[in-house]
Structure 1
Amino acid sequence: MNVVQYTKTDSLKAEIVWTLKVICSNYGYKSCENNSKGFAVMFPDSDMAKNYHCGERKTSYLATFGIAAHFSSLPRQKVKAESEYVLLFESLNHEMQDKQLDIHVRLWNDDRVRTSEFLGHSAATGLQERLDPIVCDFGHQKLLQLSMDGPNVNWKLYKSIQEQIEKMTTRRILQNGSCGRHILHNAFRICCEAAGWGVEDFLSSLYNLFRDAPARREDFKQVTGSDTLPLMFCKHRWLENIVAERAITLMPHVRDYCEAATTKKVTCPTNSSLTAVQKAAQDPIFVAKLHFFLMCARLVEPFLKLYQTDKPMLPFLAKDMCTLIKTLMEKFIKPEVLFRRKKKKAASLSSLVKINVDDKSHWVDLSKVGIGFAAERLLLKSWHCN
């Protein structure tokens, strides 16, 4: 009869394997209680199974202080072995009434280290206190760039870390600005607000008018005979063309519903959402405004989607941004201003941003402003009707 001897190392391996199974299968630690009795029954010829003891507390300890620490150290070792790294930190996400700061470390081979910090105060000094241990661990000399979005507190943090790196290593980290997608999206949103048309308020109010209101949805279906309802729109998020497209489709039904609510044929809601929707419904050219909004959004949205990626897109940023800005400016700026007269070459990005768009002498004639085929057709139809 062969007797198989087992050691503490073999027992520890078995406990680690079982702990990994608990983690991967999302078992609760409580499910590990008294499992040694089951193993002894399943493997009666195994002395290891008879002497296996890994209950709730031991499994939790192995997972938290053993396995987690080991796997966390592996990517950190990779970062320390690289010659350069980029430190990224995401916007403060409010989760569970705590401010969550997501920190990423990116390498040339796209490996990453991810961690999260929960903050009370989110001032620049507090953010730096959370980032300093990571930079010290990986090395100040290896930090190539600090990637971030655009809030002022982040710029203050960037300046502070830049001064710290320059003082310790006599070098400066790469400065390529903040998140271009945030800047472009905010610029589009500010332009919509400056127009004073209330397009974004209308899209938000149209959805909120029927959200969590089954009686209003029933009245809408009864008046219009349509089962199609508005989609959710959030002006603080990325542009969504499908929301504006749905609103354009529903506009005749929205006018019918507003008329029915005003004449008391259905229950008239008493909230600010109905006021915003009624104001838009009474505007005879509001659909044309929606089409113009949609045209501009379709020009901007591909850029936002293209650069919402982990791929190294920085070398293409200037060219794509130049193309986008020039396309938008061609809608109302004279061609001779956009193009160099002598060389007949397209203007560079630096020359485009220097053009004074407030100078009326640079504008094309009002009849030549590019507002899109759909908006132009609706304006002509409205003009002929009047």
Structure 2
Amino acid sequence: MNKLSAIERTAIERAQAAPMLERTLGWTAINSGTRNLAGLARMAEALADAFATLPGTLELVAPDPVETVTAAGAIEPLDHGRHLLLTVRPGAPVQLLFTGHMDTVFDVDHPFQQTRWLENGHLNAPGAADMKGGLALLLAALEAVEASAAAARLGYTVLINSDEETGSLSSRGLIERAAQGKAAALTYEPALPDGTLAGARGGTGNFSLVVHGRSAHAGRNPEDGRNALVAAAELAVRLADAKAPGLSVNPARIDGGGPNNVVPDLAILRVNFRPGDAAATALAQAALDDAIAAVSAEQDVHVHLHGSFNRPPKPIDSQAARLFDLVRDAGADLGLPIAWKATGGVCDGNNIAACGVPVVDTMGARGGAIHSTEEYLIPDSLPERAALSVLTILRLVERGRP
């Protein structure tokens, strides 16, 4: 650490002394599954109280409207929790974006609700790594930077949404607005257990194909029916066959059907696409259009498409590469080897990058087994990664951009 300035050393020491583990334990005790609106409200208030130690304007923003397709084929509103938005010194010369999410994949009735310490010292708790530990170290880093002489030159937005785990559908517009004019962004998804960061990411799209056929008696006049279940199955097969290098397709579920003696007149196919780049996204859209046209004609059914490619692919362009290099060099000065690799997972970093803002989106704690009852946080990584964030932020302020 002999390459650190006095300002950097002081800020790092301050961040590492923050009660990050205590905050993490308090937040993991709150169930904040994406669909647990009461729990999300508690979590939002707890985060608002914690982040109120920072200057600026803090608000809890109402979610944008979102619709969902039910198992009965109806399109209904889908409620979401509020999002935390903190704006600090919007007129400062260097503007950064920090993002995270308060929701987890563990709903209020999920069996994984308790915290326990593992024999190796890891913390097993819902959302510990993904990403309440990340939020704790982000707050520690920002509190330390605020106490430094560099703070006056730094303006930033902190956005903590309530729906990242289900695609950020009610916060996508807020993310896009927050990204405007930012020199760089850091997102606090967990790093891998060995500290490796996510580099390039593919995109994702989730769709519901609502198939309307015609009911009929399965024995007396089946020829008068139009079997929506068969049409949905054919759609699933056609779309599965559309997979290609750089494009995975997962027909995940079919809702519909009824009594054995009735030709079903309704079925809903749920399908996920994972395009690796813009060309693969176009290929996926063409596959959808072609399959719908062909099955509609052959089966004499009507197909309604609902959904979108909600997270575009995130390549590593020259701006992103420079930001990764800055993080890597900061890590080296802290004695931390920093590497990154491409991943098929997606997060809000995809949406930020699509706004033209370079982003490193795994600045959170080290941990693993996320989205499972074995999820764990490595507690020693809290001060380690807080130091990495402090040094990265201070050097971004010094340079003005990556």
What band does the TM-score fall into relative to the shorter chain? under 0.3
Q: Answer 1 or 2: higher relative contact order, Cα 8 Å, separation at least 6.
A: 2
Query: Which has the higher Rg, Structure 1 or Structure 2?
Result: 1
TM-score between both structures, scaled by the size of structure 1 = 0.25
Larger relative helix fraction = 1
Larger relative strand fraction = 2
